[in-house]
Structure 1
């Protein structure tokens, strides 16, 4: 099921013996748009740290209760490698997490894991040669392709013939935890309209300018199948949308 990323924030993460915390963000690979980690706010339980959970540990989402079960215990989570709230996620930290839980890296082969997104949890490429952070981690140790869903909100989307709008949200597939679509507010030139842009249409992302270049035109956008900001995205709608833009097969 496709859900707005903002609507998933605050969902409770339930271990086998209690509550771990709530979803605060998603970290994904900017080349595949696959979620690599869920960022969990542990509230008063582990007050000085964030917890990263791998999608493979997550069971079926209960949207009615706003809960996600995970195949972990509270003791396992408490004993996991620590990531402070303001510390970037290094590739070494990711390896420690994979080793600790026995998780398999998703779709990244023998290395850590095509599209680039800036994250408050990782250093943008512009800082690749900057001094070490206060945590002692040099930005070059951070995976430049690990990005935050939260950070992309507000980015300007530029089409082939001008501005399309701003990123207002993203749609997340709660089965595979991929990000198939960006939700764009086109209100600056098409009052009150929201449109979906596939990840396949993204050509380039500038973290400095907070811009996304997309392989679409205003004419295409205006003629696209209509979608309400809270509307469902069923298989028939996806088929029409992908046929309209000539995007690859849906999801």
Structure 2
């Protein structure tokens, strides 16, 4: 799945602390909160509930999109804009763990340079 699903070298998640419930900030504002996380080697991601921003929608964000985790503020910061996240492949509760969907998401986010 490539580096898209790995945390950046400067982002070291505390694997003893869950990110579920943390607020998620795009480069241009809050997009929602962490609903689920996976720290599987080579397949790390967050599922973010966007709440009212994109009504009733969730998005999968590969670990490489995360630029910083602030445990004091309970926030996750991303290197993507709201629009880039909104335009990502549609979340499907039944298929988001499938390799085909993850490849689609990885290809989408892989188009953008690491900021």
| Equivalent residue, structure 2, for 1:87 | 94
| Equivalent residue, structure 1, for 2:33 | 22
Judge conservation of contact 1:26–1:35 (CA < 8 Å) in 2: no
Judge conservation of contact 2:20–2:37 (CA < 8 Å) in 1: no
The higher-RCO structure (CA 8 Å, 6+ apart) is 2
The structure with more radius of gyration: 1
- CA distance in structure 2 between the aligned counterparts of 1:24 and 1:18, rounded to whole angstroms: 18
Shift of 1:37: 1.3
Task: Render the CA deviation track for 1:115-153: whole Å, top value 9, x for unaligned.
Answer: xxxxxxxxxxxxxxxxxxxxxxxxxxxxxxxxxxxxxxx
How high is the TM-score relative to the length of structure 1? 0.36
Q: Does 1:49 align with 2:57?
A: yes
Structure 2: 5+ residue runs without aligned partners?
1-13
Structure 1 moving runs of 4+ over 6 Å: none
In the TM superposition, what are the counterparts of 1:27-38 in structure 2 within 5 Å? 27-29=38-40, 32=41, 35-38=43-46
Judge conservation of contact 1:40–1:51 (CA < 8 Å) in 2: yes
| Equivalent residue, structure 2, for 1:4 | 17
Please, what is the CA RMSD of the aligned residues? 1.9
Structure 1: 5+ residue runs without aligned partners?
104-251
Shift of 1:23: 0.7
